[in-house]
Structure 1
Amino acid sequence: MYVKNIRLINFRNYYSLNIKLNEKTNVFIGKNAQGKTNLLEAIYICGTGKSFRTSRDKEIINFDKNEAYVGSEINIGKYEKFIEIKLERDKAKRIRVNKTELKSHKELYSGLNVVVFSPEDLKLVKGGPSERRNFLDTEISQIKPVYNFNINRYNKVLFQRNNLLRSGKFQENISNLLEIFDLQMANIGTEIILERYRYIKELSSILEITHNNITSSKEKLELHYISNIEILDNKIEMEKRYLDKLRNNVKSDIESSFTQLGPHRDDIFININNKELKTYGSQGQQRTAVLSIKLSEVELIKKQKGVYPVLLLDDVFSELDEERRRYLIHSFKNMQTLITVTDAVDLKEMDNIEKSIYYIDNGQLS
C-alpha cells in the first residue's frame, strides 16, 4: 500500500503542488511553519476524510481563497484508487472516489490506511478521555468501516436522548419516550464497547513485544479499556444489563440533563510498571509509550489487512534519543513512510535506506 502522488490547490500554504512520492521513504526538510506537516495532513485526509490537526475544515483552506482541493492516487495491492476532496468555506466537504461522488464524507472508505506519529500525540497520555476515545474510534474505523457507521448512529441517538433529557423535567411520560432511545443505545453501544475491547486486547498483545524491544524489557506498558457498562462474553446478556442500567439511571440523567452511561464516557488506562503513566511517568517514558503504541498500530493493521499502512512521522526524530531513532528507522523499512525534519543532521541514521529527499521553503518544494 502506498500513495503514488499528491496534488494540492490552495491547501493551507500550498497554492499549487503536484508531487510524485517514493514508494518507500520520503523525507521533507524545512524550518518550522514552512508547510511540512501540511503534506502529511493532506495524505491523512485522503485516508480518513478528516484532519489529525483540526476538526474545522475551513482552517485547511488557504487564507486568501474560498476553496481548496486535495487529489491523490493510491496503490492498494492489485488495484488503484483516485481520491479527491474539495473543501469550501461555507459548504460541507465533497469527496470523490474514482470520479464517483459520495453522498457524505462519512461514507469514505478509501482503503488507504494511515498511522501518524507526531509530538501532539502525547495527548494520548496527557489529554482527557475524549482524546483516547477519538484515538480508538479513528483507528478501529480504518480496519472495520462498519464501526464508523455504528459510531455515527450512536452519536445521533445520544444527541436525541440528551435533548429529551433536557426537556424531561416538563414531561410526565418521559420514561416511555426514553425507552425508544434506550433500546437503540443499548444495542449499538454494546457493539461499540465490544469492538473497542477487542481492539485494545489485540493491540496490547503486540504492544507488549514492541515496548519490550524498545526498552530492552526494562518497562512494562499496559492498556486497559475502562467502561461503565459491564463487559461480558455473552453479547445478548451484556445488552440486557446495559438496558437495565439505562432504565435505572433515568432520574439521575434527568437531573444532570445528560446521558451518564455508555461508550461516550469510556476511557483507556495506560499504565507503566503498574502505575498510571499520566501521573507517574516521565516525559521520556510517555513519549516512548506513544511510540510503542503507534508502531503496534502499524503491526495490527498489517495483521488485519494483510498490508502495511502508510506511516506519517511528523517532526519526531528530534524528540527521540539515538537508540529509539534507530529502532524507528528499522521498523519502517517495509512500508511507505513520510518524514518531516527541521535539519538534515537528523538523517544520519538513514544512510542505508532507499529515500527521496525534498526541501520545503514557504510552500515551495525542491
Structure 2
Amino acid sequence: MHVAHLTLHDFRSYPSVDVELEPGVTAFVGRNGQGKTNLVEAIDYLSRLSSHRVASDAPLVRAGTDQAVVRAAVVRDGRTAVLEVELNPGRANRARINRSPLPRARELVGLVRTVVFSPDDLALVKGDPGERRRFLDELLVLRAPRYAGTRADYDRVLKQRNTLLKTLYNARGSARDAALATLAVWDDQLVGVGSELLGARLRLVADLAPYLGKAYEAVARGASRDDARIAYAATVLPDRDPAAAVPDAEELRAAFTAELSRRQRDEIDRGLTLVGPHRDELQLTLGPGDDARLPVKGYASHGESWSFALGLRLASYDLLRADGDDPILILDDVFAELDTERRAQLAGLVAGAEQVLVTAAVPADVPEELRGVTFHVADGEVTRG
C-alpha cells in the first residue's frame, strides 16, 4: 500500500498543494514551521480521521477558512482508489471514495493504514492511561474498522450514564426508584458495548505482545525480547492473570455486570462510572524476569522510555503487516530525538517498507539507509530536488 498523489485545500498552512509520491522512501526537509509535518499529518488523518498532533479538527483548517479537504490516490494490490475527506469543524465531516459520497465519514477509516513515529510518542510511556488506551483503540480500528462504531457507541452510553448517576445522588422516593430503573437500562447497554470493546482490546494486547518483545530487543542496547512486556489491566476483571486466556463474551458480560453491581453505591456517591474500558490501563513493564519487573513510567531512563515507545510503534507495524497489509510508515521528526546508533537501528528496521515518509529539519537528520526522494518545504512551497 502506498499514496501516489496527495492534494490539500486549506489544510493547516496550505491554501492548496499537490504532491506526487512514489513507493519507497520520501523525505520532506525544511525548517520548523514550514509545513513539512502538515503533509504527513494529512495522510495519517485519512487513515484514522484524527490527528496525531491535536485533539480536534479545528486547528487543521487554515485560519480564515471554514473547511479543509484532504484527497489522496492510494494504491493497494495494484489498484488505485481516490480517498477524500472534507473537514467541517462544528459540523459533520464528509468523505468520498472515487468521488462517491459515503454515508458516514468514519467508513473511510482503515482503508489506508499508517503507523506514525513522532516525538510525542514518549507520552505513550510517560503520559496518563488515556494515552495508552487511545493507542490501543487506534490500532484496533486500523485492524478492524467496525470498532470505530463500537468506540463511539461506548462513549455515547458512558456519557448518558454519567449524567444519570449525577442526578441519582440527590434523588429521593419515587424519583429515585425511577432513576434506578433507568440506570439498569443504561447498565445493560454499557455492559453490551463495553464487553465487546474490552474483549477486542484483550485480544489485541495478546496479539501485540510477542511483536513488542522482538521490537524492543532490536532498538534497545543489550536488551532481550523478554525484557519489555505489556499487560491489560481491566477494571471489570480486577483479579485476572494477564497470562490467562481471553475470556469469552459471556464471561466478560457476567464480570462487567457483577462489578457494576458491586460498585453501584460508590458510583452514585461520585456521580461517575468507575468500571469499564474507559478506566482500564495498558501496563508497560521492563525487567529480566517476573520478580524484577518494574513499571516503565517512573522507573525507566529516558533512553529506555524512548526505546519502549519505538518498540510499541514497531510492534504495531509488524502486527499490521502480519494481517496482510504493509502500512505506510511516517517518521515525523523522530531522528532528531535519537542518537546515531538508534537512528541506524530504526532506519534498518523500516527501510524495507513499501512506503516510508520522513520529515526532518535538515538533510543530515535522515539516515543513509533512508535516503530516497527528497522534497524541500519552505514558505508553503513543496519542491522536489
Q: Cα–Cα, structure 1 residues 301 and 89, in superposed 2: closer, same or farther, change >3 Å?
A: closer
Residue 277 to residue 10, structure 1, CA distance change in 2 (3 Å)? same
Kindly indicate whether residue 297 of structure 2 is the aligned counterpart of residue 283 of structure 1. no
Deviation at residue 217 of structure 1 after TM alignment: 4.4
Task: Name the SS of the counterpart of 1:44 in structure 2.
Answer: helix
Match of 2:347, SS?
helix
1:198-234: CA deviation from partner (whole Å, max 9, x where unpaired): 1111111111112112235436111111111125524
TM-score (norm 2): 0.90
Partner Cα separation in structure 2 for residue 120 and residue 4 of structure 1: 27
Give the counterpart of 1:323 among 327, 334, 341. Answer: 341
Kept in 1, the 8 Å contact 2:34–2:377? The answer is yes
Contact 2:110 2:144 in 1 (8 A): no
Deviation, 1:356, is 0.7
Q: Which residue of 2 aligns with 1:149?
A: 149
Q: Is contact 2:29–2:377 with CA below 8 Å preserved after alignment?
A: yes
Instruction: After TM superposition, list the pairs within 5 Å mapping 1:56-71 onto structure 2.
Output: 56-71=56-71
Aligned pairs for 1:74-223 (under 5 A) are: 74-168=74-168, 169-170=170-171, 171-173=175-177, 174-218=179-223, 220-223=227-230
Q: Structure 2: which amino acid aligns with 1:138?
A: E
Partners of 2:328 and 2:285 lie apart in 1 by 28
Matching residue's letter, 1:184: Q
What secondary structure sits across from 1:223 in the alignment? strand
Shift of 1:114: 0.5
Instruction: Give the partner amino acid of 1:189.
Output: G
- CA shift digits 1:23-69 (9 cap, x unpaired): 11110111111111101110011111121111221211111323221
Give the deviation of 1:121 after TM superposition: 1.1
CA gap 1:16/1:234 in 2 versus in 1, 3 angstroms:
closer
Match of 1:261 in 2: 275
* Native 8 Å contact 2:109 2:141 kept in 1: no
C-alpha deviations, 1:156-210, integer Å up to 9, x for none?
A: 1111111111111323222221111111211221221121111111111111112
- The question of whether the paired residues in 1 share the 8 Å contact of 2:347 and 2:367 is answered with no
| Structure 2 CA distance for aligned equivalents of residues 115 and 172 of structure 1 | 49
| Superposition CA RMSD, Å | 1.6
SS of aligned partner of 2:176: coil
The answer to which of 91-100 and 190-199 deviates more is: 91-100
Which runs of structure 2 are paired with 1:291-302 in the superposition (5 Å)?
291-302=310-321
1:172 is paired with a residue of what secondary structure?
A: helix
Contact 2:219 2:346 in 1 (8 A): no
Single out whichever of 40-49 and 185-194 deviates more from structure 2.
185-194
- The alignment's TM-score, normalised by the length of structure 1, stands at 0.95
CA distance in structure 2 between the aligned counterparts of 1:100 and 1:292, rounded to whole angstroms: 38
Q: Letter of the aligned partner of 2:278 in structure 1? A: H
Unaligned runs of 5+ in 1: none
SS in 2 for 1:84: strand
Letter in 1 for 2:281: D
- Structure 1 residues 218 and 237: alpha-carbon distance in aligned structure 2, compared to 1, 3 A threshold: closer
Map of 1:345 onto structure 2: 364
d(CA) in 2 for partners of 1:326, 1:354: 12
| Secondary structure of residue in 1 paired with 2:183 | helix
How many residue pairs match? The answer is 363
Q: Is the 8 A contact 1:57 1:87 kept in 2?
A: yes
Structure 1 residue 348: deviation in Å? 4.7
- Who is 1:225 aligned against? 232
Q: Which amino acid aligns with 2:342?
A: R
Equivalent AA in structure 2 for residue 363 of structure 1:
G
- Counterpart residue identity of residue 215, structure 2: T
Partner of 2:250, secondary structure, is helix
Q: Is the 8 A contact 1:314 1:339 kept in 2?
A: yes
